[in-house]
Amino acid sequence: MPAIQALFWDVGGVLLSNAWDHLQRLSAINHFRISQEEFEDRHAMVVSSFERGKITLDEYLDRTVFYRNRPFAREVFKDFMFSLSQSKPDVLAFAQSLADSGRYFMSTINNESRDLNLYRIEKYNLRNIFRLFVGSCFVGLRKPEQGIYRLALEITQIPPQECCFIDDRSLNLECAAKLGMQTIEMQSFDQLRKDLEKIGVSG
């Protein structure tokens, strides 16, 4: 097996909590007492554009929340969205140790809207860990589309068999594997570390 030269990481569910997945949306729905059915129907219609960077956070909220008068302010809702992000300190520290070793090219491949992505990059100092951010909001492609993985490989010019992609969802790993990348489905920190050790990756 070729030595691993690059590690590509999902962010939500691996390094941090998810940014705006179903649990985060449900938390906001309950907190602000808005209709779950209406919100989720509208969210489903615009989430692709939102995560591809085709519409802004304000445009997303115009279509999902503030299409009618609300008893709360837009900025209050935004602040609540941002507050839902939490770190996974053990995984972040491990990723930092791998980056500090200088042995691996470190990059993300993640689906996330621009405002939340930039907020999380800044808040959790992800620029100290990663040299490249292949975010759906920056490149206009989303996992599990094969194009986002191919783009990451083309940008880095590292052979796929020398790359490993880490995600918490098996569907997101399938296209990466078909391109020849090593893949790891993260279920826990200890399991992730052991699976990386099996392919020769350690901090």
pLDDT tens per residue across span 81-121: 999 999 999 999 999 999 999 999 999 999 999 999 999 99
Q: Rounded CA gap, 136 and 39, in Å?
A: 22
Could you give the CA distance from residue 147 to residue 135 in angstroms, rounded to a whole number?
12
Q: What does each C-alpha distance from 108 to 18, 129, 131, 135 come to in angstroms?
A: 14, 10, 9, 7
CATH of domain 22-83: 1.10.150.240
What is the domain partition of the chain in residue ranges? 6-18+87-198, 22-83
Q: What are the structure tokens assigned to 125, written together?
A: 């100092």
Query: What's the fold here for domain 6-18+87-198?
Result: Rossmann fold (3.40.50)
pLDDT tens readout for residues 140-180: 999 999 999 999 999 999 999 999 999 999 999 999 999 99
Task: Please calculate the CA angle 91-6-119 and round it to the nearest 5 degrees.
Answer: 50
What are the residue ranges of helices labelled H in 10-125? 22-32, 36-51, 57-64, 74-83, 89-101, 114-123
